Amino acid sequence: MGNVILIGFMGCGKTTVGLRLSYRLRQAVIDTDKEIEREEKRTIADIFAAEGESFFRELETACLRKLSGNVRNQIISAGGGLPLRAENRALLHEIGQVIYLRAEAETIYERLKNDTTRPLLQGVDPEGKIRKLLGERDQYYAEAADVIIDVDGKTFEQILCEIEQHVG
Ligand code: S3P
């Protein structure tokens, strides 16, 4: 089995699904946000605040380049904005099988309404921000994906079963 990559909007469940899948498939999980925080020795929020979003996007591409060719039989949970760059989408395809966990804006808002760790959703009208970003991004997620799984109203168990039908 090769690498399995989880993509999708913030709050779609990539981290949780990645961890549970890692137990089930006995494969290690890598989270690109955590890799970047470890390398930079600061949080994503601090990186955004100090350097801005485009600097962070460069770090994401650098992180993917490093993973490409160096990881085997792993699960990779990709930051929500990572598939937006064409270069990153190409790298994702090279690295492994890409699974898009697709969620509705309502589901995402309910999960993230009290979250303070996502710089892009802070400030006024987070629900409006989610709708706008999701509207812009869905096409890129779909383009990057080998498999699309709708997660709304499903348990993690159901989502894992669906993923297992496609990998392996
Ligand atoms: C972002 C998603 C976040 C993190 C950063 C930017 C985005 O990752 O990379 O806050 O642009 O969607 P998660 O999807 O893991 O929350």
22-46 pLDDT per residue, tens: 999 999 999 999 999 999 999 999 9
Q: Which of 14, 109, 115, 118 to mutate to test the pocket of ligand 1 (most atoms within 8 A of CB)?
A: 118
Closest CA to 76 of 138, 120, 34, 24: 34
Check: CB of residue 141 under 8 Å from CB of residue 7. Answer: yes
Atom of ligand 1 nearest to the CA of 84: 11
DSSP lists the bridge partners of residue 102 as 150
Say what the pLDDT of residue 52 is: 97
Q: What is the pLDDT of residues 83-130, one digit of tens each?
A: 999 999 999 999 999 999 999 999 999 999 999 999 999 999 999 999
List, in sequence order, every residue forming a beta bridge with 43; answer none if it has no partner.
Answer: none
Give yes or no for residue 119 CB within 6 A of ligand 1: yes
Nearest CA to ligand 1 atom 10: 118
Whether residue 1 has pLDDT greater than 70: no
Span from the CA of 41 to the centroid of ligand 1 (angstroms): 17
- Taking the CA of residue 15 as reference, the ligand 1 atom at the shortest distance is 15
Q: Which residue has its alpha carbon closest to ligand 1 atom 2?
A: 80
- pTM, 2 dp: 0.97
What pLDDT was estimated at residue 164?
94
Distances (CA, A) of 110 to 76, 89, 103, 148, 159: 25, 28, 11, 21, 18
pLDDT in tens, 57-83: 999 999 999 999 899 999 999 999 999
Nearest CA to ligand 1 atom 12: 80
